[in-house]
Chains A and B, each alone.
Chain A
Amino acid sequence: MSAEEITKKKSGKGTHVLGSVWKVIANIVTVFLSLVVILPLVVLFLNSFKTKGDSNTMSLTLPKTWQPQNYVVVMKQGKLVSSFCNSLLYSLCSVVIIIILVAAAAYVISRNRKGTNKFLYYFIVSGIAMPINNVALMKVMQVTHLVNTRPGIILLYVAVNIPLSLFLAYGFIGTIPRDIDEAAIIDGCSPWRLFISVILPLLVPMMATLFVLNFMAIWNDFTMPLYYLNKSTKWPMTLAVYNFFGAFENSWNLVSADIILTIVPVLLVFIVGQKYIVGGMSSGAVKG
């Protein structure tokens, strides 16, 4: 064996040892990062089972006595059942409308990027930059009789979330080959049928992504109902929590339980949809 070969072997072994040390360190770093991120949530969870006195300091200790009844109190006092139904209604309706309208619009705009379509694209996408002007919007809502109504808040969420959704969908549709359309047309498909029975099924992953992203955004929104819904019976969960916090500021055990209950539904949507969210974003993101 030549000297050169020996050093090569040695250094090879060296990097192997170094490699496994690096692997252990990387694993430790990962666990540490996850702990840092999850700590506030664990504190919140533990405190939701404590007594009022114990929860004052929001510490990372186990409850002396577990108080699951906190959750029952919150459900009753916080009117969580009705606000949960409101949140679900607003989120689902808006998201479904957004998906249908955006899929149709993104499809024609992305396929034929000329004239009216090009104008429509920039027209709508400019909305990404639009800060919501609440005073002017209030005027429009009053004139159209949409203020303080459920359809009003749903349409508002649709309008505000269309631009970014269209932007993402536009990138995705570009990845579907045009040959499919041409084949279908040659086979005698009408444009309407082409869209419904050929294109729409191909858009399912993109629509799932839009579903998850918009659902999370709308479920968590707090400013729109603050301005445009004045009746507590129409409030979604975020506003109920805000109000609950105002009334029970010193009962962090109850506030914690309240917060945990609002996180759960959207966490479930995310867990179910996370496969799509990652896939949809990559096709939108890489294509641009």
Chain B
Amino acid sequence: MDRKKIYPWWFAVPAAAIFFLLCLLPGLLGIGYSFTDWNSFTEKINFVGLQNYQKIFSGHSEYLSYISNTILFTVATTITKTILGLLMALLLTRPFIRLRNVHRMIIFSPQVMSFLVVGLVFQSMLHPTTGFVNNFLRSIGLGSLAQNWLTDLHFVWPSVIAVDTWKGMGYIMMVIIAGLTSIAPEYYEAASMDGANFWQQFQHVTLPLLRPVIVNVTVLNITYGLRVFDMIYALTNGGPGNATGVINTAVYKLFSTGDYAMGTTLSSVLFFFMLALLYFILRSMENKEVEA
């Protein structure tokens, strides 16, 4: 049968058209602008070649710290959310845990809040004098542990990562639970007949069958982490100083000061970064399909 006739390609056109107009086209325009000196103060836009990119990658530019902060945030939150999500998914699929579904709901619940709200709430919770966290520590006699969570250079990154993990781990847990429940029970029956203990079952049954899910979850976490904006903007606004400034908060600042060329360049660097990542992921998934 002729696949072209049964599955008319124009079914895909409306989606592709809207995507092109309001997502891809602005993205490509942005890359075009990254080779210019466009800003809000000059009338004429001049082509300057790779000058903006050179500025970003030369020696000690502050832009490099935004890029390294973005990578730090991405790697740290991907690890914490995946590991905690996996552990909680394993715990909350055990039959002897009481009220499993209630616990799942509770741990997922921060996911329904916007990052803006999460940022505002934790700004108040982590406030050094009136915040809930420090007041709680003082009330149980651990006042010496109270900190300036969001303004002390030593604590701001752990705090940001903890807040992001608090919000995001429930989602990761849900995806992994979905993966766990789709593993046929026969595998475990066979494994326990062979005398495999819990750890051995986890190692030889759960983990290999869960691999595609964990790969997917990692992709989600990495793409989210590289693009993070609302979270950092609402919680620390990149502070103290530039300590938690990431690519997108820097882009936001550059745009608001009218330096459009530099903003689009930094944005484009992020785009190339993510495109390369996506390419490798899609490639590896195609290879998997061939095997299956």
List residues of A whose CB falls within 8 A of some B CB. 23, 26-27, 29-31, 33-34, 37-38, 40-41, 43-44, 56-60, 101-102, 104-105, 107-109, 111-112, 114, 116-117, 120, 122-137, 139-141, 144, 146, 155-156, 158-160, 162-163, 166, 181-182, 185, 191, 194-195, 216, 219-223, 238, 241-242, 245, 252, 255, 259, 262-263, 266-267, 270-271, 274, 277-279, 281-283, 285-288
Answer yes or no: B33 CB below 8 A from chain A CBs. Answer: yes
- Nearest B-chain residue to A133, judged by Cβ: B30
Are A222 and B114 within 8 A (Cβ)? yes
Subset of 12 A-B contacts with CB under 8 Å: A40-B121, A40-B125, A58-B132, A60-B136, A114-B3, A124-B19, A127-B24, A131-B27, A222-B115, A278-B174, A278-B178, A285-B175
Q: Which of B58-66, B97-105, B237-245 contacts A (4 or more CB under 8 A)?
A: B97-105
Are A111 and B114 within 8 A (Cβ)? no
Among A58, A136, A245, the residue within 8 A (CB) of B264 is A136
Q: Which of B49-57, B187-195, B271-279 contacts A (4 or more CB under 8 A)?
A: B271-279
Are B23 and A162 within 8 A (Cβ)? yes
User: At the interface, is chain A mostly helix, strand, loop or mixed?
Assistant: helix
Are A216 and B111 within 8 A (Cβ)? yes
Q: A60-B132, A285-B213 are in contact. Are A267 and B112 (CB under 8 A)?
A: yes
Are B21 and A58 within 8 A (Cβ)? no
User: At the interface, is chain B mostly helix, strand, loop or mixed?
Assistant: helix
List residues of B whose CB falls within 8 A of some A CB. 1, 3-9, 11-12, 14-16, 18-27, 29-30, 33, 88, 91-92, 94, 96-98, 102-103, 105-117, 120-122, 124-125, 127, 130-132, 135-136, 166, 170, 174-175, 177-179, 181-182, 212-213, 215-217, 223, 227, 229-230, 248, 251, 255, 260, 263-264, 267, 270-271, 274-275, 277-278, 282, 285, 288-289
Residues of A within 8 A of B275 (CB): 126, 129
Are B278 and A128 within 8 A (Cβ)? yes
Given contacts A40-B132, A252-B124, 20 further A-B contacts (CB under 8 A): A60-B136, A105-B12, A117-B12, A124-B12, A128-B274, A131-B251, A134-B255, A136-B26, A136-B33, A139-B29, A162-B23, A216-B112, A238-B114, A238-B116, A238-B117, A262-B114, A271-B105, A278-B174, A279-B178, A288-B215
B137 to chain A, nearest CB (A): 12
Tell me, in angstroms, the Cα distance from A155 to B19 when the chains sit together.
9
Q: A130-B27, A263-B112 are in contact. Are A30 and B92 (CB under 8 A)?
A: yes
Residues of B within 8 A of A158 (CB): 18, 22
Are A58 and B130 within 8 A (Cβ)? yes
A74 to chain B, nearest CB (A): 14
Are B117 and A108 within 8 A (Cβ)? no
